[in-house]
Amino acid sequence: MNSGQGYRLADRARYSSQTSTSALPKSADIVIIGGGIIGTLAAVYLANRIPGSSMCIIERDLSYTYASTVLSAGSLRVQYSIPENIYMSVESFKFLKDIGTHLQVEGDDPPDIQLIEKGFLFLAPEKMVPLITTYKGIHEKLGIPTEILQPSEIKERYPWLNLDDIVLGSYGCDYEAMFDPWAYLMCAKKKAQSMGVRYIEAEVKGMERNGNRIDNVSVVTTQGERATINCGSVINAAGAWSSGVAKLAGIGAEGAPPDLKTPLPVEPFARYGYVFECRDGPVDTPAVVVDGVTGVAFRRETSGLFAASAIQASRKFYYLMRSGKDKDSSKLEVDYDFFDEGVWPGLATRCDAFNGLKLVSAWAGYYEINTLDNNAIIGPHPAIPNFYFSTGYSGHGLQHSPAAGRAISELILDGKFTTMDLSKFSFDRIIRNEPYKELAMI
pTM: 0.92
Share of the chain above pLDDT 70, in %: 90
User: Mean pLDDT of all residues in the chain?
Assistant: 91
Dihedral angle of Cα 398, 404, 409, 411, to the nearest 10 degrees: -150
User: In terms of pLDDT, which residue wins out, 442 or 52?
Assistant: 52
Q: Tell me which of 318, 340, 368 is where a domain ends.
A: 368
What's the angle, vertex CA 401, arms to CA 400 and CA 403, rounded to 5?
70
pLDDT digits (tens, 9 = 90+) for 311-357: 865 555 545 554 444 445 445 788 899 899 989 999 999 999 999 99
The verdict on 189 and 214 lying in the same domain is yes
- Are residue 275 and residue 299 in the same domain, yes or no? yes
Cα separation values, 117 from 18, 94, 174, 286, Å = 32, 11, 8, 10
Do 194 and 272 sit in the same domain of this protein?
Answer: no
13 and 141 assigned to the same domain: no
Q: Please check whether residue 69 is in contact with residue 121, taking contact to mean a CB–CB distance below 8 angstroms.
A: no
CATH number at 336 reads: 3.30.9.10
Cβ proximity of 214 and 380 under 8 Å = no
Q: Indicate the residue among 316, 333, 368 that finishes a domain.
A: 368
| Higher-scoring residue by pLDDT: 5, 144 | 144
Counting the structural domains of the chain, the total is 2
Confidence of residue 215 (pLDDT cuts 50, 70, 90): very high
At residue 230, the 3 state secondary structure works out as strand
Beta strands in 198-265 (DSSP E): 198-210, 213-221, 226-236
Is pLDDT of 21 > 90? no
Instruction: Note whether residue 67 is domain-resident.
Output: yes
Rounded Cα distance between 342 and 309, Å, is 9
Q: Which residues of 327-347 are buried (b: 16+ CB within 10 A; e: fewer)?
A: eebeebebbeebbeebbbbbb
Asked if 239 and 259 touch (Cβ cutoff 8 Å), the reply is no
Q: So what's the pLDDT on residue 331?
A: 58
Q: What angle do CA 60, 336, 59 make, to 5 degrees?
A: 5
pLDDT of residue 440: 86
Angstrom distance (rounded) from CA 76 to CA 309: 16
CB atoms within 10 A of CB 101: 10
Q: How much is the average pLDDT of 358-366?
A: 92
Measured between alpha carbons, how far is residue 231 from residues 33, 45, 53, 215 in Å? 12, 18, 12, 6
358 and 287 in a single domain? The answer is yes
Q: Which residue blocks in 223-286 are alpha helix, DSSP H?
A: 242-248
Domain residues for the domain of 45 are 5-72+182-265+373-432
> Tens of pLDDT along 100-128?
999 999 999 999 999 999 999 999 999 99
Residue 393 pLDDT grade (very low, low, confident, very high; cuts 50, 70, 90): very high
Q: Are residues 276 and 415 in the same domain?
A: no
Pairing between β-strand 358-370 and β-strand 266-277 as defined by DSSP bridges? antiparallel
Instruction: Give residue 11's pLDDT.
Output: 41
396-437 pLDDT per residue, tens: 999 999 999 999 999 999 999 999 999 999 999 999 999 999
d(CA 283, CA 228): 54
Q: What is the pLDDT of residue 70?
A: 92
Q: Give the tens place of pLDDT for each residue, 32-52.
A: 999 999 999 999 999 999 999
